[in-house]
């Protein structure tokens, strides 16, 4: 019995994931999708399936993209309803054998060092207190293999739901789920973590931006920081996003 999730009223995202039109839709995070597409042939040539972990996986839009790209994925979330929907979606896509779900708070999760080729955390480091986020970040970095990729998104103080400037002065509409975001990242904070020597990362892409979200509730704006990085000595085929001089589909 999990006291956090067995009572739907304790699951902040229950209603968002219970809907027929599931919150956040099925499109994976765009930078992650671009990375998976560009590195697909290298991943498929590995003898064993690469392992991925999706922290705060929600209803699984990134999990499903990773599984379709050939990863074995562990999807971690405190929302049992979100994980139900992931299993449903995986079944429908014939990817059940590649997806494992785990109800767990990311702060309690233990991950072995050097074990995941992909570590994903799409808007979860901002759902935990700022005092806890650095420890989760450290675990994420340690868990990455020497040929690993790390993808993270967080809400920033530009978000109209933020109680800090400049977001708090914004007159743009706020997300229906903004109440779950308790740790808005400051400008350059996430990339600062990625550039620390202990993180042992090489940044492929970092962006702070405003974006419109029409995937749930009324259309609203977000302030986001988006980071795509790899282990420091790893040099995959990454041509950017949008890809510079993309190869044709046939080459
Ligand atoms: C904004 S949603 C993002 C879902 C998914 N990553 C996506 O982008 O579609 C944030 C998710 O983080 C989960 N979450 C929040 N705090 C968490 C925690 N401490 N441990 C694990 N999951 C958590 C929520 O249940 C929710 O599913």
pLDDT tens digits, one per residue of 30-78: 999 999 999 987 776 777 899 999 999 999 999 999 999 999 999 999 9
Tell whether ligand 1 has an atom less than 6 A from the beta carbon of residue 77.
yes
Looking at residues 222-243, what average pLDDT do you find?
Answer: 95
Say if residue 144's pLDDT is above 90.
yes
* Ligand 1 contacts CB of residue 13 (under 6 A): yes
Q: Atom 1 (ligand 1): residue with closest C-alpha?
A: 123
Share of the chain above pLDDT 90, in %: 84
Q: What residue owns the CA closest to ligand 1's atom 13?
A: 56
Pocket probe for ligand 1: among 19, 21, 124, the residue whose CB has the most ligand atoms within 8 Å is 124
- Residue minimizing CA distance to atom 19 of ligand 1: 105
> How far does Cα 3 stand from its chain's mean position?
25
Tell me, what's the pLDDT at 2?
Answer: 42
Angstrom distance (rounded) from CA 30 to CA 211: 13
Ligand 1 nearest atom to the CA of residue 11, by list position: 25
Work out the pLDDT band at 8, boundaries 50, 70, 90. Answer: low
* Nearest protein Cα to ligand 1, atom 4: 58
Q: Across the chain, what does the average pLDDT equal?
A: 93
Contacts of 140 (CB under 8 A, 6+ apart): 55, 111, 119, 121, 150, 152
User: Does any ligand 1 atom lie closer than 6 A to the CB of residue 74?
Assistant: no
Across the range 93-105, mean pLDDT stands at: 98
Does the structure show a pLDDT above 80 at 7? no
Which residues contact residue 9 at a Cβ distance below 8 angstroms, ignoring those fewer than 6 apart?
A: none
Whether 56 is in the pocket of ligand 1, judged by its Cβ within 6 Å, is: yes
Q: Ligand 1 atom 7: the closest Cα is on which residue?
A: 58
Query: Which whole number is the average pLDDT over 172-192?
Result: 95
Radius of gyration from C-alpha coordinates of the chain:
17
Whose structure tokens read 């994420």? 140
pLDDT of amino acid 250: 55
**Topology of 8-231 in CATH?**
Rossmann fold (3.40.50)
Mean pLDDT of 175-181: 91
Asked if the model's pLDDT at residue 205 lies above 90, the reply is: yes
106 by DSSP, 3-state: which?
A: coil
Average pLDDT over residues 15-35: 94
Which tokens sit at 74?
């562990």
Query: Where along the chain do its domains lie?
Result: 8-231
């Amino acid at each position: 019995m999990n006291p956090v999730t067995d009572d739907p009223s304790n699951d902040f995202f229950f209603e968002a994931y219970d809907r027929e039109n599931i919150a956040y839709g099925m499109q994976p995070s765009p930078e992650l999708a671009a990375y998976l597409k560009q590195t697909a042939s290298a991943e498929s040539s590995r003898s064993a399936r690469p392992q991925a972990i999706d922290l705060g996986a929600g209803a699984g839009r990134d999990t499903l993209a990773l599984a379709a790209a050939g990863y074995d994925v562990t999807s971690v979330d405190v929302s049992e309803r979100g994980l139900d929907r992931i299993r449903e979606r995986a079944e429908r896509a014939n990817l059940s054998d590649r997806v494992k779900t785990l109800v767990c708070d990311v702060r309690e999760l233990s991950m072995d060092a050097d074990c995941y080729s992909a570590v994903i955390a799409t808007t979860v480091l901002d759902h935990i207190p700022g005092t806890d986020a650095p420890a989760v970040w450290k675990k994420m970095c340690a868990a990455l293999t020497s040929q690993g990729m790390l993808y993270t998104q967080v809400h920033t103080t530009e978000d109209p739901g933020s109680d800090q400037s400049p977001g708090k002065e914004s007159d743009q509409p706020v997300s229906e789920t903004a109440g779950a975001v308790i740790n808005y990242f400051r400008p350059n904070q996430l990339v600062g973590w990625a550039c620390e020597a202990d993180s042992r990362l090489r940044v492929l892409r970092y962006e702070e931006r405003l974006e419109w979200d029409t995937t749930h509730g009324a259309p609203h704006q977000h302030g986001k920081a988006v980071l795509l990085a790899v282990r420091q000595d790893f040099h995959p085929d990454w041509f950017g996003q949008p890809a510079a001089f993309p190869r044709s589909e046939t080459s």
